[in-house]
Amino acid sequence: MVGLSLGEKHFIQGGIAQDIRSDGRKRLTYRPINVETGVIPQANGSARIRMGATDVISTVKAELGKPISLQPDKGKVSIYVDCSPTAAPMFEGRGGEELSTELSVALQRSLLGGKSGAGAGIDLSSLVVVEGKICWDLYIDCLVVCSDGNLLDALGAAIKAALSNTGIPRVQVAAGASGDEQPEVDISDEEFLQFDTSDIPVIVTLTKVGRHYIVDATTEEESQMSSAISISVNRKGHICGLTKRGGAGLDPSIVLDMISVAKHVSEQLINKLDSEIAAAEAGEDES
């Protein structure tokens, strides 16, 4: 895909080794992050995140559904990623499916806390309307508009921003329904519930190029990676999920080292992101 000459490859690798990357960043510096919220008015919440040329949109749609019988006190959240062919011609037709699935699964693993939902970024029990009968189902749909590396981190950040932008209509359950009947609900036009998004982790992907690892790799840099680890870390510094990608094996001690670096980076990232989201929300309210 990315056709690089030998010289270019050496340039990239050499730059990383010397802690000065081809766009001038240090190994652990992110590109500037641009957050816009409320970009898709028909969704309950949405956000668009741009990191360099990487451009993703994430939306949240809430629908009323029925909780699964094993977890009557929890709502459901699902994440789907779609890679638009506008981002790269290779995503044309079914070409983007593999990457889309990989990203969807990685995001679910990092943000939703496994099958039981324990440790999920969002408190799933807050989505229940009537226990065992009605709950909110959140559908998080992401679209990759333009891709220049580090999609997972960008998508994670976009989901976090979209969730903080999300308002779910307040519902009133009609009294009187009993037994097996599905109760009638009344949906308010005006009042919205906001989510507590402070526990939603951010994803930090460390890409190993040569002996060093970098954050927020561009497509060119990713083409030179030997392996990568994506770690999701929440505000409290807890590791919420971890994905290793790439073929080359890693020494366990290096893995541990990478985790501690990721923890450190995540603190900055969370603060940066929170302030960007707050600024975007404020900007949206004004307009």
Partner 1 sequence: MLHSKTFVKKTRGGKVNKQVREHYLRDDIYCGAPICKLCDSSAARLSPSASTILLLDTNVVLNQIDLLENPAIDDVVMLSVVLDEVKNKNMGVYNRVRALCSNSLRRFFVFANEHHKDTFVKEMAKESKNDRNDRAIRVAAQWYQSHLGGAARVLLITNDKENKRKAIAEGISAETIESYVKSLDRPDLLDLVVQPSSEDVEMEEVEDLRPSKRKVIYTEHKPMSEITSGLHRGIYHQGKLRVNRYNPFEAYVGSESIGDEIIIYGRTNMNRAFDGDVVAVELLPQDQWHEEKSLSIADEEDEEEDVHLVPSSADDAPRTTNLVQGSSGDTNAVSSRPSGRVVGIIKRNWHSYCGSLEPMPMPAGSGGTAHALFVSKDRRIPKIRIHTRQLENLLNKRIIVAVDSWDRLSRYPSGHYVRTIGEIGDRDTESEVVLIENDINSRPFSSQVLACLPPLPWSVSSEDLANPIRQDLRDLRVFSVDPPGCKDIDDALHCTALPSGNFEVGVHIADVTNFVHPGSPLDDEASQRGTSVYLVERRIDMLPKPLTEDICSLRSDVERLAFSVIWELTPEADIISTRYTKSVIKSCAALSYIEAQARMDDSRLMDPLTTDLRNMNVLAKKMRSRRIERGALTLASAEVKFQIDTETHDPLDIGMYQIREANQMVEEFMLAANVSVADKILKHFSLCSLLRRHPSPTREMLEPLLRTAAAVGLNLDVSSSKALAESLDRAVGDDPYFNKLIRILATRCMTQAVYFCSGDLSPPEYHHYGLAAPLYTHFTSPIRRYADVIVHRLLAASLGIYKLPSIFQDRPQLTSIADNLNYRHRNAQMASRASVELHTLIYFKKRPTDTEARVVKIRSNGFIVFVPKYGIEGPVYLTARSEKGGGEWFVDEQQQKIKKMDGSASYSVLQTVRIHMEVVEPQPNRPKLQLTLT
Partner 2 sequence: MEFVSLEGFRLDGRRPMEMRQIRAEIGAVAKADGSAVFEMGNTKVIAAVYGPREVQNRTQQINDQALVRCEYSMANFSTGDRMRKPKGDRRSTEISLVIRQTMEACILTHLMPRSQIDIFVQVLQADGGTRSACINAATLALADAGIPMRDLVTSCSSGYLNSTPLLDLNYVEDSAGGPDVTVGFLPKLDKVTLLQMDSKLPIDIFENVMQLAIEGCKAIANYIREIMLENTKQLEYRRGI
Partner in contact with 158, chosen from partner 2, partner 1, none, beta carbon below 5 to 8 Å by kind: none
| DSSP, res 89 | G
| Shortest distance in whole angstroms from residue 188 CB to partner 1 | 7
Residue 286's binding partner, choosing from partner 2, partner 1, none, with beta-carbon cut-off 5 to 8 A by kind? none
Q: State yes or no: residue 63 binds partner 2 (CB under 8 A).
A: yes
**Other C-beta atoms within 10 Å of 243: how many?**
18
Residue 64 interacting with partner 2 (CB under 8 A)? no
CA distance 205 to 228: 7
Minimum Å gap between C-beta 229 and partner 1 is: 38
CB under 8 A: which stretch of 35-43, 114-122, 183-191, 238-246 binds partner 2? 35-43
**Two structure tokens written together for 77:** 């959240």
What is the rounded distance in angstroms from the CA atom of residue 101 to the CA atom of residue 262? 24
Which is nearer to partner 2, 55 or 274 (by Cβ)?
55
Secondary structure, 3-state, 136-148:
EEEEEEEEEEECC
Q: Compute how many residues bind partner 2; rule: CB under 8 A.
A: 30
> Taking the complex as a whole, how short is the minimal distance between the CB of residue 176 and partner 1, in angstroms?
8
Provide Rg for the chain, Cα atoms.
Answer: 20
The interface partner of residue 190, options being partner 1, partner 2, none and the CB cut-off 5 to 8 Å by kind, is: partner 1
**What's the min distance (Å) between Cβ of 175 and partner 1?**
11
Smallest gap, in angstroms, from Cβ of residue 67 to partner 2? 19
Q: Does 141 bind partner 2 (CB under 8 A)?
A: yes
Distance in angstroms (rounded) separating the CA atoms of residues 230 and 245: 8
Check binding of 176 to partner 2 (CB under 8 A): no
Nearest CA to 36 among 136, 164, 134? 164
Binding site for partner 1 (CB under 8 A): 41-44, 61-64, 169, 174, 176, 184, 187-191
Question: Which has the closest alpha carbon to 77: 45, 37, 42, 38?
Answer: 45
End-to-end CA distance of the chain: 41
Q: Which residue has the tokens 């707050």?
A: 278
Residue closer to partner 2 by CB (options 82, 199) is 82
The helix/strand/coil state of 286 is helix
Using CA of residue 38, residue 41, residue 45, residue 46, what is the dihedral sign?
negative
Between CA 117 and CA 123 the distance in angstroms is 9
Report the partner that residue 147 touches, choosing among partner 2, partner 1, none (CB closer than 5 to 8 A by kind).
Answer: partner 2
Instruction: Indicate whether 1 belongs to the interface with partner 2 (CB under 8 A).
Output: no
State the residues that interact with partner 2 by CB under 8 A: 40-43, 46, 52-53, 55, 57, 59, 61, 63, 80, 82, 84-89, 92-94, 139, 141, 143, 145-148
